[in-house]
Structure 1
Protein backbone atom coordinates (compact mmCIF):
# COMPACT_ATOMS: atom_id res chain seq x y z
CA UNK A 1 0.00 0.00 0.00
CA UNK A 2 1.38 3.44 -0.97
CA UNK A 3 0.42 6.37 1.24
CA UNK A 4 0.96 10.08 0.79
CA UNK A 5 3.10 11.63 3.53
CA UNK A 6 3.75 15.32 4.13
CA UNK A 7 6.31 16.88 6.42
CA UNK A 8 8.52 19.95 6.50
CA UNK A 9 12.13 20.16 5.27
CA UNK A 10 13.18 21.31 8.76
CA UNK A 11 15.87 19.16 10.45
CA UNK A 12 13.55 17.86 13.17
CA UNK A 13 11.15 16.36 10.59
CA UNK A 14 13.80 14.97 8.25
CA UNK A 15 15.56 13.46 11.30
CA UNK A 16 12.31 11.75 12.35
CA UNK A 17 11.28 10.41 8.94
CA UNK A 18 14.64 9.49 7.40
CA UNK A 19 14.55 5.83 8.49
CA UNK A 20 10.89 5.41 7.51
CA UNK A 21 11.18 6.65 3.94
CA UNK A 22 14.64 5.28 3.17
CA UNK A 23 14.04 1.65 4.11
CA UNK A 24 16.17 1.65 7.25
CA UNK A 25 13.33 -0.01 9.14
CA UNK A 26 10.81 -2.65 8.08
CA UNK A 27 7.80 -0.70 6.78
CA UNK A 28 5.53 -3.76 6.95
CA UNK A 29 4.34 -3.51 3.37
CA UNK A 30 3.78 0.25 3.31
CA UNK A 31 5.52 2.72 0.97
CA UNK A 32 5.35 6.50 0.99
CA UNK A 33 4.95 9.25 -1.60
CA UNK A 34 6.57 12.19 0.20
CA UNK A 35 5.69 15.88 -0.03
CA UNK A 36 7.97 18.53 1.51
CA UNK A 37 6.19 21.74 2.50
CA UNK A 38 6.35 24.40 5.18
CA UNK A 39 4.01 23.68 8.08
CA UNK A 40 1.38 26.25 7.14
CA UNK A 41 1.13 24.74 3.63
CA UNK A 42 0.72 21.33 5.28
CA UNK A 43 -1.95 22.81 7.58
CA UNK A 44 -3.90 23.97 4.55
CA UNK A 45 -3.48 20.63 2.79
CA UNK A 46 -4.91 18.96 5.88
CA UNK A 47 -7.89 21.31 5.79
CA UNK A 48 -8.55 19.96 2.29
CA UNK A 49 -7.90 16.35 3.32
CA UNK A 50 -5.22 15.95 0.66
CA UNK A 51 -2.74 13.66 2.44
CA UNK A 52 -2.93 10.29 4.17
CA UNK A 53 -0.34 11.23 6.78
CA UNK A 54 0.90 14.73 7.54
CA UNK A 55 2.71 16.97 9.95
CA UNK A 56 0.58 19.89 11.12
CA UNK A 57 0.34 22.48 13.86
CA UNK A 58 -1.74 21.54 16.88
CA UNK A 59 -3.79 24.67 16.28
CA UNK A 60 -4.71 23.35 12.83
CA UNK A 61 -5.65 19.96 14.28
CA UNK A 62 -8.64 21.62 15.92
CA UNK A 63 -10.10 22.25 12.46
CA UNK A 64 -9.42 18.81 10.98
CA UNK A 65 -10.02 16.48 13.95
CA UNK A 66 -13.11 15.03 12.29
CA UNK A 67 -10.95 13.82 9.41
CA UNK A 68 -7.55 13.18 11.00
CA UNK A 69 -6.41 11.40 14.18
CA UNK A 70 -3.20 12.20 16.06
CA UNK A 71 -0.41 9.65 16.31
CA UNK A 72 1.32 9.14 19.64
CA UNK A 73 4.65 9.18 17.75
CA UNK A 74 6.34 12.01 15.87
CA UNK A 75 5.07 15.03 17.78
CA UNK A 76 7.09 18.10 18.75
CA UNK A 77 6.48 19.10 22.36
CA UNK A 78 8.88 20.39 24.92
CA UNK A 79 10.06 23.07 27.28
CA UNK A 80 11.97 26.11 26.08
CA UNK A 81 11.00 25.51 22.45
CA UNK A 82 8.21 27.99 21.93
CA UNK A 83 7.85 30.84 19.44
CA UNK A 84 9.40 34.22 20.16
CA UNK A 85 7.86 37.64 19.64
CA UNK A 86 10.61 40.00 18.50
CA UNK A 87 11.14 43.59 17.34
CA UNK A 88 13.95 45.92 16.32
CA UNK A 89 16.10 47.31 19.12
CA UNK A 90 15.26 50.90 18.28
CA UNK A 91 11.51 50.23 18.67
CA UNK A 92 11.73 47.94 21.70
CA UNK A 93 11.03 50.49 24.43
CA UNK A 94 8.03 51.99 22.67
CA UNK A 95 6.55 48.62 21.77
CA UNK A 96 6.95 47.24 25.28
CA UNK A 97 5.18 50.30 26.68
CA UNK A 98 2.28 49.87 24.26
CA UNK A 99 1.96 46.19 25.16
CA UNK A 100 2.05 46.90 28.90
CA UNK A 101 -0.60 49.59 28.66
CA UNK A 102 -2.58 47.74 25.95
CA UNK A 103 -2.99 51.11 24.27
CA UNK A 104 -3.01 51.31 20.51
CA UNK A 105 -1.79 47.72 20.38
CA UNK A 106 -4.16 46.95 17.53
CA UNK A 107 -2.19 49.43 15.42
CA UNK A 108 0.96 47.32 15.69
CA UNK A 109 1.46 45.09 12.65
CA UNK A 110 2.64 41.58 13.52
CA UNK A 111 4.24 39.22 11.03
CA UNK A 112 3.06 35.67 11.78
CA UNK A 113 4.16 32.35 10.24
CA UNK A 114 0.57 31.32 9.47
CA UNK A 115 -2.98 31.65 10.71
CA UNK A 116 -3.26 28.04 11.86
CA UNK A 117 0.15 27.77 13.52
CA UNK A 118 0.36 27.03 17.22
CA UNK A 119 2.56 30.12 17.42
CA UNK A 120 -0.38 32.29 16.34
CA UNK A 121 -2.63 30.55 18.86
CA UNK A 122 -0.22 31.33 21.70
CA UNK A 123 0.07 34.93 20.51
CA UNK A 124 -3.72 35.21 20.74
CA UNK A 125 -3.71 33.83 24.29
CA UNK A 126 -0.95 36.18 25.47
CA UNK A 127 -1.86 39.30 23.48
CA UNK A 128 -5.45 39.17 22.22
CA UNK A 129 -5.19 42.90 21.50
CA UNK A 130 -2.69 42.25 18.67
CA UNK A 131 -5.17 41.83 15.86
CA UNK A 132 -3.33 43.43 12.93
CA UNK A 133 -1.52 40.40 11.53
CA UNK A 134 0.21 39.66 8.25
CA UNK A 135 0.95 36.07 7.21
CA UNK A 136 4.51 35.58 6.01
CA UNK A 137 6.80 32.64 5.26
CA UNK A 138 8.53 32.03 8.59
CA UNK A 139 11.99 32.63 7.09
CA UNK A 140 10.97 36.09 5.80
CA UNK A 141 9.82 37.56 9.12
CA UNK A 142 13.21 38.84 10.31
CA UNK A 143 13.86 40.70 7.06
CA UNK A 144 10.35 42.19 7.12
CA UNK A 145 11.14 43.61 10.56
CA UNK A 146 14.50 44.99 9.45
CA UNK A 147 12.87 46.59 6.40
CA UNK A 148 10.19 48.28 8.53
CA UNK A 149 7.34 46.36 6.92
CA UNK A 150 6.06 45.08 10.28
CA UNK A 151 6.39 46.23 13.90
CA UNK A 152 6.62 42.81 15.55
CA UNK A 153 7.63 39.38 14.31
CA UNK A 154 6.54 35.97 15.55
CA UNK A 155 9.42 33.59 14.86
CA UNK A 156 9.73 29.82 14.97
CA UNK A 157 12.18 27.09 13.93
CA UNK A 158 15.81 28.01 13.30
CA UNK A 159 15.08 31.75 13.41
CA UNK A 160 15.15 31.37 17.20
CA UNK A 161 18.92 31.05 16.79
CA UNK A 162 19.55 33.83 14.27
CA UNK A 163 17.49 36.88 15.25
CA UNK A 164 20.03 38.31 17.70
CA UNK A 165 22.78 38.15 15.09
CA UNK A 166 20.61 40.39 12.92
CA UNK A 167 20.26 43.02 15.65
CA UNK A 168 16.72 42.08 16.65
CA UNK A 169 15.41 41.84 20.20
CA UNK A 170 13.09 39.47 22.06
CA UNK A 171 9.86 40.93 23.43
CA UNK A 172 8.57 37.70 24.98
CA UNK A 173 9.18 33.98 24.78
CA UNK A 174 5.67 32.62 24.25
CA UNK A 175 6.84 29.13 25.10
CA UNK A 176 7.91 30.26 28.57
CA UNK A 177 4.64 32.16 28.87
CA UNK A 178 2.71 28.96 28.12
CA UNK A 179 4.78 26.88 30.53
CA UNK A 180 4.16 29.31 33.40
CA UNK A 181 0.48 29.66 32.48
CA UNK A 182 -0.26 25.94 32.14
CA UNK A 183 2.52 24.02 33.85
CA UNK A 184 2.75 21.83 30.74
CA UNK A 185 5.15 21.30 27.87
CA UNK A 186 4.30 23.37 24.83
CA UNK A 187 2.64 21.38 22.01
CA UNK A 188 3.91 22.66 18.67
CA UNK A 189 3.25 20.13 15.95
CA UNK A 190 2.05 16.58 15.54
CA UNK A 191 1.71 13.81 12.98
CA UNK A 192 -1.83 12.88 11.98
CA UNK A 193 -3.31 10.10 9.91
CA UNK A 194 -6.47 10.21 7.82
CA UNK A 195 -9.35 8.47 9.60
CA UNK A 196 -10.54 7.02 6.28
CA UNK A 197 -7.69 4.48 6.53
CA UNK A 198 -8.52 1.23 8.33
CA UNK A 199 -7.76 1.38 12.05
CA UNK A 200 -5.17 -1.37 11.77
CA UNK A 201 -3.33 0.71 9.14
CA UNK A 202 -3.50 3.79 11.36
CA UNK A 203 -1.98 1.80 14.23
CA UNK A 204 0.69 0.38 11.92
CA UNK A 205 1.66 3.90 10.85
CA UNK A 206 1.91 4.95 14.49
CA UNK A 207 4.16 1.96 15.18
CA UNK A 208 6.39 2.69 12.17
CA UNK A 209 6.84 6.37 12.98
CA UNK A 210 7.84 5.38 16.51
CA UNK A 211 10.39 2.92 15.12
CA UNK A 212 11.72 5.60 12.76
CA UNK A 213 12.28 8.03 15.65
CA UNK A 214 13.91 5.33 17.73
CA UNK A 215 16.22 4.46 14.83
CA UNK A 216 17.17 8.13 14.45
CA UNK A 217 18.08 8.37 18.14
CA UNK A 218 20.10 5.15 17.95
CA UNK A 219 21.90 6.28 14.74
CA UNK A 220 21.92 10.12 14.93
CA UNK A 221 24.33 10.56 12.00
CA UNK A 222 22.59 8.05 9.74
CA UNK A 223 20.43 10.64 8.01
CA UNK A 224 22.95 13.48 7.91
CA UNK A 225 23.04 13.79 4.11
CA UNK A 226 19.25 13.75 3.86
CA UNK A 227 18.87 16.27 6.68
CA UNK A 228 21.53 18.59 5.25
CA UNK A 229 20.01 18.39 1.77
CA UNK A 230 16.81 20.01 3.02
CA UNK A 231 18.25 22.29 5.71
CA UNK A 232 18.79 25.29 3.41
CA UNK A 233 22.55 25.62 3.99
CA UNK A 234 22.07 25.62 7.77
CA UNK A 235 25.26 25.19 9.77
CA UNK A 236 25.54 21.60 11.01
CA UNK A 237 25.88 22.64 14.66
CA UNK A 238 22.69 24.72 14.39
CA UNK A 239 21.01 21.84 12.57
CA UNK A 240 21.60 19.44 15.44
CA UNK A 241 20.72 22.10 18.01
CA UNK A 242 17.42 22.45 16.17
CA UNK A 243 16.86 18.68 16.30
CA UNK A 244 17.69 18.53 20.02
CA UNK A 245 15.09 21.19 20.77
CA UNK A 246 12.20 19.62 18.90
CA UNK A 247 12.81 15.85 18.98
CA UNK A 248 12.64 14.22 22.42
CA UNK A 249 10.80 11.55 24.40
CA UNK A 250 7.46 13.03 23.34
CA UNK A 251 8.45 12.33 19.73
CA UNK A 252 8.75 8.62 20.53
CA UNK A 253 5.51 8.47 22.50
CA UNK A 254 3.32 11.25 23.88
CA UNK A 255 2.64 9.33 27.06
CA UNK A 256 0.43 10.67 29.84
CA UNK A 257 2.25 14.01 30.14
CA UNK A 258 2.26 14.68 26.41
CA UNK A 259 -1.45 14.00 26.08
CA UNK A 260 -2.12 16.16 29.14
CA UNK A 261 -0.28 19.09 27.51
CA UNK A 262 -2.28 18.71 24.28
CA UNK A 263 -5.59 18.30 26.09
CA UNK A 264 -4.85 21.39 28.21
CA UNK A 265 -4.08 23.41 25.09
CA UNK A 266 -7.33 22.33 23.43
CA UNK A 267 -9.43 22.84 26.56
CA UNK A 268 -8.16 26.39 27.06
CA UNK A 269 -8.52 27.21 23.38
CA UNK A 270 -12.10 25.90 23.35
CA UNK A 271 -12.99 27.75 26.55
CA UNK A 272 -11.63 31.01 25.12
CA UNK A 273 -13.47 30.35 21.83
CA UNK A 274 -10.23 30.39 19.88
CA UNK A 275 -11.16 27.05 18.31
CA UNK A 276 -14.49 25.26 17.82
CA UNK A 277 -15.55 22.38 20.12
CA UNK A 278 -14.24 18.98 19.02
CA UNK A 279 -16.58 16.00 19.02
CA UNK A 280 -14.09 13.18 18.53
CA UNK A 281 -11.11 11.83 20.44
CA UNK A 282 -7.95 13.39 19.06
CA UNK A 283 -5.87 10.23 19.18
CA UNK A 284 -5.46 7.07 17.12
CA UNK A 285 -4.94 4.82 20.14
CA UNK A 286 -7.98 5.76 22.23
Structure 2
Protein backbone atom coordinates (compact mmCIF):
# COMPACT_ATOMS: atom_id res chain seq x y z
CA UNK A 1 0.00 0.00 0.00
CA UNK A 2 1.31 3.43 -0.91
CA UNK A 3 0.75 6.22 1.60
CA UNK A 4 1.85 9.85 1.87
CA UNK A 5 2.05 11.93 5.01
CA UNK A 6 4.26 14.65 6.43
CA UNK A 7 7.46 14.29 8.42
CA UNK A 8 5.84 16.04 11.39
CA UNK A 9 5.97 14.19 14.72
CA UNK A 10 2.22 13.61 14.94
CA UNK A 11 2.22 11.77 11.59
CA UNK A 12 5.34 9.70 12.19
CA UNK A 13 4.09 8.80 15.67
CA UNK A 14 0.65 7.83 14.33
CA UNK A 15 1.88 5.73 11.41
CA UNK A 16 5.06 4.25 12.90
CA UNK A 17 3.56 0.82 13.64
CA UNK A 18 1.86 0.56 10.24
CA UNK A 19 5.02 1.58 8.38
CA UNK A 20 7.22 -0.80 10.35
CA UNK A 21 5.11 -3.93 9.97
CA UNK A 22 3.80 -3.94 13.55
CA UNK A 23 0.12 -4.05 12.57
CA UNK A 24 -1.07 -7.66 12.10
CA UNK A 25 -2.48 -8.50 8.65
CA UNK A 26 -1.64 -5.06 7.20
CA UNK A 27 0.22 -5.09 3.87
CA UNK A 28 3.74 -3.69 3.43
CA UNK A 29 3.64 0.09 3.26
CA UNK A 30 5.66 2.38 1.00
CA UNK A 31 5.80 5.92 2.36
CA UNK A 32 6.23 9.24 0.59
CA UNK A 33 7.02 12.06 3.01
CA UNK A 34 5.42 15.19 1.64
CA UNK A 35 4.25 18.56 2.90
CA UNK A 36 0.48 18.74 3.19
CA UNK A 37 0.31 21.50 0.58
CA UNK A 38 1.87 19.08 -1.90
CA UNK A 39 -0.54 16.26 -1.06
CA UNK A 40 -3.49 18.67 -1.33
CA UNK A 41 -2.69 19.24 -5.00
CA UNK A 42 -1.77 15.60 -5.67
CA UNK A 43 -5.20 14.56 -4.48
CA UNK A 44 -6.98 17.28 -6.46
CA UNK A 45 -5.13 16.20 -9.60
CA UNK A 46 -5.88 12.50 -8.91
CA UNK A 47 -2.18 11.81 -8.47
CA UNK A 48 -0.21 10.38 -5.61
CA UNK A 49 -0.70 7.34 -3.37
CA UNK A 50 -3.84 5.40 -2.53
CA UNK A 51 -3.85 6.79 1.01
CA UNK A 52 -2.62 10.22 2.01
CA UNK A 53 -2.92 13.03 4.46
CA UNK A 54 -4.33 16.31 3.20
CA UNK A 55 -5.85 19.37 4.78
CA UNK A 56 -9.54 19.16 5.62
CA UNK A 57 -9.80 22.41 3.66
CA UNK A 58 -8.83 20.54 0.46
CA UNK A 59 -11.63 17.95 0.72
CA UNK A 60 -14.12 19.73 -1.57
CA UNK A 61 -11.67 19.37 -4.45
CA UNK A 62 -11.13 15.62 -4.01
CA UNK A 63 -14.34 13.95 -2.80
CA UNK A 64 -15.25 12.60 -6.23
CA UNK A 65 -12.22 10.33 -6.14
CA UNK A 66 -11.31 9.97 -2.48
CA UNK A 67 -13.16 9.13 0.70
CA UNK A 68 -12.53 10.78 4.08
CA UNK A 69 -11.42 8.17 6.61
CA UNK A 70 -12.59 8.25 10.21
CA UNK A 71 -9.13 7.96 11.77
CA UNK A 72 -5.48 8.98 11.45
CA UNK A 73 -6.09 12.70 11.06
CA UNK A 74 -5.66 15.71 13.30
CA UNK A 75 -8.46 17.55 15.04
CA UNK A 76 -8.40 19.06 18.44
CA UNK A 77 -8.85 21.88 20.84
CA UNK A 78 -6.22 24.43 21.77
CA UNK A 79 -4.19 23.58 18.67
CA UNK A 80 -5.19 26.09 16.03
CA UNK A 81 -3.12 28.28 13.71
CA UNK A 82 -1.89 31.62 14.99
CA UNK A 83 -1.80 35.07 13.41
CA UNK A 84 1.50 36.71 14.41
CA UNK A 85 2.79 40.27 14.17
CA UNK A 86 6.10 41.94 14.95
CA UNK A 87 4.54 44.64 17.07
CA UNK A 88 2.06 43.85 19.82
CA UNK A 89 -1.40 44.30 18.32
CA UNK A 90 -4.85 43.49 19.68
CA UNK A 91 -7.15 44.86 16.97
CA UNK A 92 -7.82 42.56 13.99
CA UNK A 93 -8.38 45.65 11.82
CA UNK A 94 -4.61 46.16 11.92
CA UNK A 95 -4.56 43.67 9.02
CA UNK A 96 -6.69 45.80 6.71
CA UNK A 97 -4.64 46.48 3.59
CA UNK A 98 -1.61 44.69 5.05
CA UNK A 99 0.61 41.93 3.60
CA UNK A 100 0.15 38.56 5.29
CA UNK A 101 2.31 35.48 4.76
CA UNK A 102 0.48 32.14 4.74
CA UNK A 103 1.77 28.58 4.28
CA UNK A 104 -0.84 27.60 1.69
CA UNK A 105 -3.94 28.92 0.00
CA UNK A 106 -5.66 25.53 0.29
CA UNK A 107 -5.32 24.74 3.97
CA UNK A 108 -7.43 24.71 7.09
CA UNK A 109 -5.28 27.52 8.45
CA UNK A 110 -5.98 29.72 5.44
CA UNK A 111 -9.73 29.01 5.41
CA UNK A 112 -9.95 29.76 9.13
CA UNK A 113 -8.04 32.98 8.53
CA UNK A 114 -10.44 33.99 5.74
CA UNK A 115 -13.52 33.13 7.82
CA UNK A 116 -12.13 35.05 10.80
CA UNK A 117 -11.21 38.15 8.76
CA UNK A 118 -14.64 38.15 7.10
CA UNK A 119 -16.19 38.32 10.56
CA UNK A 120 -13.77 40.84 12.14
CA UNK A 121 -12.42 43.23 9.48
CA UNK A 122 -14.24 46.13 7.85
CA UNK A 123 -11.94 46.12 4.83
CA UNK A 124 -9.99 43.36 3.12
CA UNK A 125 -6.48 42.23 3.93
CA UNK A 126 -3.97 43.48 1.37
CA UNK A 127 -1.58 41.02 -0.27
CA UNK A 128 -1.52 37.34 0.63
CA UNK A 129 1.98 35.92 0.18
CA UNK A 130 2.42 32.14 0.13
CA UNK A 131 5.73 30.87 1.51
CA UNK A 132 7.08 27.73 3.23
CA UNK A 133 5.77 27.65 6.78
CA UNK A 134 9.25 27.66 8.32
CA UNK A 135 10.09 30.92 6.47
CA UNK A 136 7.09 32.83 7.79
CA UNK A 137 8.27 33.82 11.27
CA UNK A 138 11.68 35.06 10.04
CA UNK A 139 9.86 37.12 7.37
CA UNK A 140 7.62 38.74 9.99
CA UNK A 141 10.63 39.33 12.24
CA UNK A 142 12.51 41.08 9.40
CA UNK A 143 9.49 43.21 8.51
CA UNK A 144 9.16 41.72 5.02
CA UNK A 145 5.47 41.08 5.75
CA UNK A 146 3.12 42.71 8.23
CA UNK A 147 1.79 39.47 9.69
CA UNK A 148 2.15 35.74 9.37
CA UNK A 149 -0.19 32.78 9.64
CA UNK A 150 1.70 29.93 11.33
CA UNK A 151 0.98 26.30 12.07
CA UNK A 152 2.50 23.24 13.74
CA UNK A 153 5.27 23.74 16.28
CA UNK A 154 5.43 27.50 15.57
CA UNK A 155 2.86 27.96 18.33
CA UNK A 156 5.58 26.82 20.76
CA UNK A 157 8.48 28.79 19.29
CA UNK A 158 7.21 32.17 18.01
CA UNK A 159 8.46 33.91 21.17
CA UNK A 160 11.99 33.06 20.03
CA UNK A 161 11.50 35.50 17.14
CA UNK A 162 10.17 38.29 19.35
CA UNK A 163 6.74 38.03 17.76
CA UNK A 164 3.30 38.60 19.21
CA UNK A 165 0.07 36.68 18.75
CA UNK A 166 -2.73 38.76 17.28
CA UNK A 167 -5.18 35.85 17.21
CA UNK A 168 -5.35 32.17 18.01
CA UNK A 169 -7.68 31.00 15.23
CA UNK A 170 -8.40 27.73 16.97
CA UNK A 171 -9.59 29.59 20.05
CA UNK A 172 -11.80 31.79 17.88
CA UNK A 173 -13.24 28.77 16.06
CA UNK A 174 -13.98 26.88 19.27
CA UNK A 175 -15.65 29.91 20.84
CA UNK A 176 -17.65 30.64 17.70
CA UNK A 177 -18.82 27.09 16.97
CA UNK A 178 -18.17 24.92 20.03
CA UNK A 179 -16.46 22.37 17.79
CA UNK A 180 -12.86 21.12 17.66
CA UNK A 181 -10.76 22.49 14.85
CA UNK A 182 -10.33 20.18 11.81
CA UNK A 183 -6.71 20.28 10.63
CA UNK A 184 -5.36 17.24 8.75
CA UNK A 185 -7.50 14.55 7.11
CA UNK A 186 -6.64 11.03 5.98
CA UNK A 187 -8.21 10.07 2.66
CA UNK A 188 -8.23 6.89 0.58
CA UNK A 189 -9.05 6.31 -3.06
CA UNK A 190 -12.60 5.08 -3.53
CA UNK A 191 -11.23 1.88 -5.06
CA UNK A 192 -9.55 0.99 -1.75
CA UNK A 193 -11.22 -1.05 1.00
CA UNK A 194 -11.52 1.90 3.34
CA UNK A 195 -12.79 -0.16 6.27
CA UNK A 196 -9.63 -2.28 6.22
CA UNK A 197 -7.42 0.80 5.97
CA UNK A 198 -9.23 2.40 8.90
CA UNK A 199 -8.74 -0.77 10.93
CA UNK A 200 -4.99 -0.80 10.21
CA UNK A 201 -4.56 2.91 11.02
CA UNK A 202 -6.54 2.56 14.25
CA UNK A 203 -4.33 -0.35 15.31
CA UNK A 204 -1.26 1.76 14.50
CA UNK A 205 -2.57 4.55 16.75
CA UNK A 206 -3.28 2.07 19.54
CA UNK A 207 0.24 0.65 19.26
CA UNK A 208 1.74 4.16 19.36
CA UNK A 209 -0.09 4.94 22.60
CA UNK A 210 0.66 1.58 24.19
CA UNK A 211 4.37 1.64 23.22
CA UNK A 212 5.37 5.31 22.77
CA UNK A 213 9.07 4.51 23.10
CA UNK A 214 8.96 2.34 19.95
CA UNK A 215 8.55 5.36 17.66
CA UNK A 216 11.11 7.69 19.28
CA UNK A 217 13.92 7.13 16.77
CA UNK A 218 11.58 7.27 13.79
CA UNK A 219 9.94 10.48 15.01
CA UNK A 220 13.24 12.23 15.67
CA UNK A 221 14.78 11.03 12.39
CA UNK A 222 12.11 12.97 10.49
CA UNK A 223 11.56 15.88 12.87
CA UNK A 224 13.79 18.39 11.04
CA UNK A 225 16.14 18.94 13.98
CA UNK A 226 13.25 19.71 16.32
CA UNK A 227 14.11 19.48 20.00
CA UNK A 228 12.75 16.27 21.58
CA UNK A 229 10.59 18.19 24.04
CA UNK A 230 9.03 20.22 21.19
CA UNK A 231 8.37 17.02 19.22
CA UNK A 232 6.61 15.57 22.26
CA UNK A 233 4.51 18.72 22.69
CA UNK A 234 3.57 18.39 19.04
CA UNK A 235 2.47 14.77 19.51
CA UNK A 236 0.58 15.51 22.72
CA UNK A 237 -1.33 18.31 21.01
CA UNK A 238 -2.22 16.73 17.68
CA UNK A 239 -2.60 13.00 18.45
CA UNK A 240 -5.76 12.53 20.47
CA UNK A 241 -9.05 10.64 20.50
CA UNK A 242 -10.05 12.30 17.21
CA UNK A 243 -6.98 10.65 15.65
CA UNK A 244 -8.35 7.27 16.62
CA UNK A 245 -11.94 8.06 15.66
CA UNK A 246 -13.53 11.28 14.41
CA UNK A 247 -16.72 10.48 16.27
CA UNK A 248 -19.89 12.54 16.17
CA UNK A 249 -18.20 15.83 17.14
CA UNK A 250 -15.40 15.31 14.64
CA UNK A 251 -17.68 14.64 11.67
CA UNK A 252 -19.87 17.60 12.67
CA UNK A 253 -16.85 19.90 12.97
CA UNK A 254 -15.72 19.01 9.45
CA UNK A 255 -19.19 19.55 7.98
CA UNK A 256 -19.70 22.93 9.69
CA UNK A 257 -16.22 24.11 8.70
CA UNK A 258 -16.56 23.24 5.02
CA UNK A 259 -20.19 24.31 4.74
CA UNK A 260 -19.25 27.75 6.10
CA UNK A 261 -16.33 27.93 3.65
CA UNK A 262 -18.58 26.91 0.73
CA UNK A 263 -21.21 29.46 1.75
CA UNK A 264 -18.49 32.15 1.69
CA UNK A 265 -17.34 30.99 -1.76
CA UNK A 266 -13.93 29.96 -0.42
CA UNK A 267 -14.19 26.33 -1.62
CA UNK A 268 -16.22 24.61 -4.34
CA UNK A 269 -19.61 23.30 -3.34
CA UNK A 270 -19.61 19.60 -2.58
CA UNK A 271 -22.07 16.78 -1.87
CA UNK A 272 -22.82 17.22 1.81
CA UNK A 273 -23.53 13.50 2.26
CA UNK A 274 -19.85 12.83 1.47
CA UNK A 275 -18.99 14.16 4.92
CA UNK A 276 -20.96 11.65 6.93
CA UNK A 277 -19.65 8.56 8.60
CA UNK A 278 -22.17 6.36 6.77
CA UNK A 279 -21.35 7.69 3.32
Equivalent of residue 275 in structure 2, options 250, 275, 282: 282
1:151-230 matches, cutoff 5 A: 151-197=146-192, 201-230=193-222
Separation (CA, whole Å) in 1 of partners of 2:125 and 2:64: 30
RMSD: 1.5
Contact (CA 8 Å) 2:53, 2:187: kept in 1 or not?
A: yes
Structure 2 match to 1:114: 104
TM superposition shift of 1:32: 1.9
Q: Which runs of 5+ in 2 are unaligned?
A: 119-123
Contact (CA 8 Å) 1:70, 1:190: kept in 2 or not?
A: yes
How many residue pairs end up in the alignment? 272
Separation (CA, whole Å) in 2 of partners of 1:43 and 1:174: 21
Q: Give per-residue Cα distances to partners, 1:35-87, cap 9 Å, x unaligned.
A: 00111111111112222100010001121111111111111111100000001
Separation (CA, whole Å) in 1 of partners of 2:25 and 2:52: 17
Q: Give per-residue Cα distances to partners, 1:134-184, cap 9 Å, x unaligned.
A: 111111101111222211100000111110121000000000010011110
Q: How high is the TM-score relative to the length of structure 2?
A: 0.93
Separation (CA, whole Å) in 1 of partners of 2:276 and 2:188: 10
The structure-2 alpha-carbon separation of the partners of 1:281 and 1:131, relative to structure 1 and needing over 3 Å to count, comes to farther
SS in 2 for 1:223: helix
SS in 2 for 1:222: helix
